[in-house]
């Protein structure tokens, strides 16, 4: 998910907007280009009006909920700084909304 965060932020800085979908991200020579999780399931992305980006893996079983390896993995970051500029790649992960 770290590579997706970096690719999303690079896209935002280059295009002055967030991508509409993960498929809109251009390939990267230095980062992984997959938009799937470790089990091969698509990572789900959502963009909140406040600029928070949430990435979700539904775990091994690929469906919401579950425990152990079937548990959801949800991470979020804020794509814009408090002054309105696009965040850099070191922006910390935040608690998902």
CA distance linking residue 38 with residue 24, whole number of Å? 21
Q: Name the residue ranges covered by the structural domains of the chain.
A: 2-21+34-94
In this prediction, residue 95 carries a pLDDT of 84
pTM for the model: 0.91
Q: Are strands 73-78 and 93-94 parallel, antiparallel or unpaired?
A: antiparallel
pLDDT at residue 73 greater than cutoff 90: yes
In this prediction, residue 69 carries a pLDDT of 95
Q: Tens of pLDDT along 30-67?
A: 888 999 999 999 999 999 998 899 999 999 999 999 99
Average pLDDT, whole number, for the chain? 94
């Amino acid at each position: 998910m770290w590579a997706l965060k970096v690719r999303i932020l690079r896209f935002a800085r280059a295009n002055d907007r967030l991508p509409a979908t993960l498929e809109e991200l251009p390939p990267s020579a230095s980062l992984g280009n997959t938009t799937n999780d470790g089990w091969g399931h698509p990572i789900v992305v959502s963009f909140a009006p406040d600029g928070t980006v949430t990435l979700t893996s539904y775990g091994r079983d690929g469906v919401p909920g579950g425990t152990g390896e079937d548990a959801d993995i949800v991470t979020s970051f804020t794509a814009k700084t408090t002054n309105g500029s696009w965040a850099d790649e070191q922006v910390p992960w935040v608690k998902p909304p």
